[in-house]
Chains A and B, each alone.
Chain A
Amino acid sequence: MNRLFKVVSLLLALCFVMTAITFAFAEDGVIDADLTCTITLGNWPPDTAADAEKALFEGYKATMAVQYPNVTLVPDYYSYTLSNYVPMAKGHTAPSIFQPPFTDPQLLISQGLVGDVTDALESFGVLEQFSPSYVEMLADENGRIYGLPRDGYVLGMHINIDLFREAGLMTEEGLPMYPKTLQELAEYGKIIKEKTGKAGLVFPASETYGGWLFTNIAWNFGCVGENALEYQDEDGRWVCNFTSDECIAAMEYMRDLRWKYDILNADATTTDWAGAHSILGTGEAAMNFAADDSVDQPTANKGLPVDSFALIPFPAGPEGRYALAGGTCYMFSPDITSDQAIALMAYLKVLGKLPFLDDQIISGMRADYAAKRDRGAPVLPAISAWTDAEYNAAKQAIIDEYCNVDMRLYNDFFDSISQGTITLKSEEPIFAQQLYRELTAVVQRMITREGADVEKALRKAEEAFQEYLDDEINDY
């Protein structure tokens, strides 16, 4: 069966290439023969990538060669990290297009390290169709756009159903009895630990991950609005607020997960994002705070069958129900010219990342979903970054054709977003990574020292981060 899937997805990819080549011989395939430039494309699939994926990208290249015959595409295997990107941007060697996570655009924009594509977007007529929350993340204070959403995600929880079943936490319909509140999360986690000996919750608390996840818990304990973890006062100064009653309560909850309920994985302080997926995927933990865009990690990458996996909404806290909305975006080298900007938008259109659908784009999407299904990753509805209803419906219809999961294991997650029962929040507004780093240190203290003083630790972190805010922005 697996082999059949592979053959089918490779055939689909080949069909896509053939479509692109056929298109090449049609005279009307040319969109702009005058556009002449070279663009380097980061994140090109390496030689070790699956054949279907490589064929898919070759198809994109062939299509571009037809539509824009004088645009030269240079594949680049570059994969973005903040540390490798900065020297490349300053040395004028950054690829024309690359893919940072949504934590970085504002930093890159403020540092002048990315290129402006506002005019190019306008020329394609899609500027108005951006989801406003994404525009906010990818624009500067003058409304100039420096990036495009690749895909969005919402944080929820990944579930290993096998461990829920072993712990007797299943409904009569055969679905996991998943936690709807953070309190239930602690209680169910305890039951799982007692019944299976495995961790109820894997919590990656290394580097900045611990703080990143903790902010989500803190929001659900009420660290929003006037109790936000950071806010601007009347004078426009940024203020850090880690010592509100709400934040202290959230951190006490974090401490209880370790010392009262004892549901965390053994090496939480050294576990990172990839490690957490691995622990859930290999059955060493039952729950993991994770998003819809990483469902392939515990399944396709770590071998958890898709029917043993579920995605549920982020559990509600005592003060509400919030979840992080973020994602990955496309950004551009600061050196791109206006012609290159247009060529890059054309490339993204071919990739199906702009809200346009034609036969080629549909063919590309089919090949993409078939490749996912072939790898054993769940094919799920996408959270669109565009407000174009017609485009979104057409895309969903294609996804439905390739869906390989029991949607009852995912519906609550997607319904909570579409029905607005969960409030979506973007990351903390400024210097999020530094904020996460400070909070990670507190989380680590809480889960490694039983008698740790929550308020004292938070106050120390608050002072450190306030000093950072003063240095970097208030007194800059």
Chain B
Amino acid sequence: MSNKKSVLSSRAKTMEFAKAWLIMLPSLVLMTFFVWEPLFESVRMSLFKTRNVELISFIGLDNYVSVMKKDDFLQALVNTFSYTFWSLLIGFLLPIVLAVLIGETRRWRGIFRTIAYLPNMLPGLAVVILWSNFFSGGKTGVLNILLSHLNIPPQTYLTRAEWVIPIIILVATWKGAGATALIYMASIAGISPELYEAATIDGANVWRRIIHIMIPAIKKLTGTLLILQIISVFQIMYEPMVLTKGGPDNASLSLMQLMWQYAFGGAMNYGKASAVAVIVTIILLLMTAVYSYFNRKESDWE
């Protein structure tokens, strides 16, 4: 009897396994064709001399050496870190502030939430073009028209090397902050109301509730979103491509844009383009590993 039971249970387990694999199969097939295969192909291509997408001969790390010793690579690398820095400065705190403010709002919370998310619903290119008109340097630029009412003469913005990256990050933040704020809001909504009630009874004001309840509750999420933001900003491409075309004098050239230039910007060197892509991947893997290491250490302490 017990033998029969165990056979039944092992058959049920097999069925469960089969079901699980069947459910996963479509995703696995899609991932294999559209994620893993291109990824491995890119690594392989980066080790070959190429003629458009054909592999001509194995050259080891030559593509990496050739790419890395060029000035524009160094410039793109510095710029990409600069994008990340400005993104953390401008774009990291803003969604948290938005989420906290909206979370503390008692009336019209839904409307504020919609307004915050609205820019995210606009097509990315439309947003960039819209902002390019805002920062246009001539007398017809929207910002210059506004400034003219204060008797300030027309300025140029997107042609100034020192301003382009902060401006591009401002544009990216304007578009993306609402979506990130929504995630924080969802996390804040999950905090037990009893905690707030207890804190209020104990005489805690809004500021103390934020410091002692809200922020600790979203701390872990903050870490995850931080690393996701770094990964996302590290791959910034279409914003500088449309707003500044990487200029002036490569001042806003990002690594992904450099990769695009190698592949499609006239050089048609897919081997070097793949090398840049692999370098970006390695940098991001390293940064994620460092984050995970410190995050685990912190969890261990807790």
Contact = CB atoms under 8 A, between A and B. Distances in A.
A221 B160 CA distance: 29
Contacts of B286: none
Interface in B210-240: none
A148 B156 CA distance: 44
A337 interface: no
B248 A444 contact: yes
A90 B45 CA distance: 15
Interface stretch (B28-36, B85-93, B192-200, B261-269): B261-269
Given A266-B138, A270-B158, A464-B70, A206 B266 contact: no
B145 to A, nearest CB: 13
A208 B246 CA distance: 11
Given A90-B53, A111-B52, A266-B136, A83 B249 contact: no
B266 A267 contact: no
Contacts of B261: 437
B264 A82 contact: yes
A305 interface: no
A269 B159 contact: yes
Contact of A437 (B154, B161, B243, B266): B266
Interface residues of A, number: 45
Contacts of B132: 270
B180 interface: no
B224 to A, nearest CB: 34
Interface of B: 51-54, 66, 70-72, 132, 136-141, 154, 156, 158-161, 243-250, 261, 263-269
A86 B249 contact: no
B53 A445 contact: no
12 contacts: A82-B264, A82-B268, A83-B263, A83-B264, A90-B52, A111-B52, A113-B52, A270-B243, A284-B138, A445-B248, A447-B248, A464-B70
A81 to B, nearest CB: 8
A48 to B, nearest CB: 19
A472 B52 CA distance: 12
A440 B248 CA distance: 9
A111 B159 contact: no
A200 B246 CA distance: 25
A448 B268 contact: no
Contact of A468 (B140, B248, B267): B267
A197 B53 CA distance: 50
Contact of A434 (B160, B243, B266): B266
Contact of B159 (A268, A437, A440): A268
B156 to A, nearest CB: 5
Contact of A471 (B66, B140, B159): B66
Contacts of B54: 90
Contacts of A87: 53
Nearest to B243: A270
Given A431-B266, A471-B66, A206 B245 contact: yes
Contacts of B140: 284
Contact of B161 (A81, A431, A448): A448
Contact of A86 (B139, B158, B268): B268
A265 interface: yes
B16 to A, nearest CB: 41
A265 B137 CA distance: 9
**Pairs A-B, 10 closest by C-beta atoms:** A433-B266, A266-B137, A83-B264, A206-B245, A269-B248, A445-B249, A444-B248, A267-B137, A444-B249, A448-B248
A301 B158 CA distance: 26
A467 interface: yes
Nearest to B159: A269
Contacts of A456: none
Nearest to A86: B52
Contact of A207 (B66, B137, B245): B245
Contacts of A107: 266, 268
A380 B245 CA distance: 34
A460 B70 CA distance: 10
**Considering residues A89, A207, A208, A467, which has the most beta carbons from chain B within 10 angstroms of its beta carbon?**
A207
Nearest to B157: A267
A270 B132 CA distance: 9
Given A265-B138, A434-B266, A270 B52 contact: no
A272 interface: yes
B71 A448 contact: no
Contacts of A205: 247
A444 B249 CA distance: 5
Contacts of A471: 66
Given A267-B137, A440-B247, A449-B249, 6 more contacts: A265-B138, A267-B136, A269-B248, A434-B266, A437-B266, A471-B66
Contacts of B71: 460, 464
B51 A111 contact: yes
Given A433-B265, A434-B267, A467-B70, A270 B159 contact: yes
